[in-house]
Structure 1
Amino acid sequence: MSEQTGSGGGLNEYIQHHLTQNTIQLGGGGFHIDTWVVSLVLGLIFVLWFGLAARRATAGVPSKGQAFVELILEFVDGQVKDTFHGDRSSITPLALTIFVWVVMMNCMDLLPLDMPGWLVQTASGSEVAHHTYFRWVPTADLNTTFGLSVPVFFIILYHSMKAKGIGGFGKELLTAPFHGHGFVAVILAPFNLLLNLIEYAVKPVSLAMRLFGNMYGGELVFMLIAGLLGGSLYMFVPGVVFNVAWALFHILIVLLQAFIFMILTVVYISGAYESH
């Protein structure tokens, strides 16, 4: 969400300003400090929150905080149970981490866009805020979504090898989906390998691009509303109304995208135990 527009640079400059990452050069490439800081802080909050809830859990009447954590855990475990029919001891924690962490990162889209600049300006008493770049939403950064999906990809490979063995996994890559015998199998092997590699590669790409596209689009809508309706005093009320309306709808996107990322991860892991 946004409270105010930029300092007179027009809609294009306002949007460009808020689409710019706080970046430093590291290892020959750009490192997005804002994405890293927000992701790390939210991850630590999640670990601390659920860790304290687990330590303080009681067998009697639960507190409101414990009941809320248990509700989330039961929801995630129920989804995993319906999708994955094996040992859930490692799958449910993974799904829980993905769901809660992604929800928390997505929810940053509901904070005012101009808050970092306003905080800097308030603290410094200068116009340096106009040159302050800080993006709240880690999942609107493609680096974050691929940072989540690539480990999921390796987890899928691990479960595939665990279920079928390294030899069985390699054999499946060469013999499925087109099965054959003798010379025919040799001819089909390169095509099978290519199709399987594409199938595996598509999984992390689709996970990353779906989450990024929806969160980037939602962030852009907030910027457009702020830029078009927040430039003058008489547009303040319409701006607030449109922002609130979009924020209420966007809450559904925030939750749905986290759920989709989680459930597809579980589906892919479940598929690793199935043969072609």
Structure 2
Amino acid sequence: MKKFIYGILVVVLLGACQEEVFLELNTVQPQPVIEAFWTDVGIFNFVRLSKSKDFYSTETNEIIQDASVFIKNDETGEVFPFRFVEQGGRYIPVNNAAGEIGKAYSLHVAWGDNVYTASGVLQDAPVLDSIVYNFRDDRLFREQGYYLTLYGDIPFEDNNYYRLRVVRNDTLLNNRNDYLLFDDSFGTSILNRGFELSGFPFQANDRVRLELFRLNRDAFDYLNQLVGLLFNDGGLFSPPPQNPASNIQLVTGEDQPLGYFKVSPVRTATITVAPDG
């Protein structure tokens, strides 16, 4: 009986904690935020530079347009310059340049008195074989809809760090619940068995593109920390918000960077959900 009463008290106490709590975070000077993608497919490659904002700010980040940006093949010395495109608010490689599997690359950004660099290896890509879908009825914790299962193969013994992006009807699903990150903690047969996208119900006639990236460990760690930050509500049971650890280094200057450099192969698979019958 005592255990039952204690349990009720705990529930009542927790239920009484309804007041939203905002942490008093110090206002800091904006820092440069660098988001850089370098893959073996030119249309995926870009560098976005902006200025950071306070954690609770609802304003959009200010775009940095006057930086000098290039990526270098560290083995051959070949340089790939980038140019700023105002329409997209980012820098893209001249002539739609792309990386080569097995090569090491470095990012170089100069902005004002600051110079930044980062590096990574463009590793071999896993194999994507097929996508199938099945209709599932509405259940507890699962919406009614069509659910996709991805098949393929991961033949690598190490450096297995992946992100799967989902694009529905040409729109990238990019909310905090949409980040699909996985490694080989439970083996490498996840694609052989079939990787079901259980959190993504689709409707008839949806066109879905899956994009699989094989990441370097530092980029994978950054994204994991970013997801943790996105789920931080600033409440009593959440740790103080902290920026993810960047894999970009400050070479000269005083403004420490935020953001990350992702070097990765990309493999895509596309399917249109046909209505039954």
Q: TM-score, normalised by structure 2?
A: 0.23
Higher RCO structure, 1 or 2 (CA under 8 Å, sep 6+): 1
From the two aligned structures, give the one with the greater helix fraction.
Answer: 1
Rg (Cα) greater in structure: 1
From the two aligned structures, give the one with the greater strand fraction.
Answer: 2
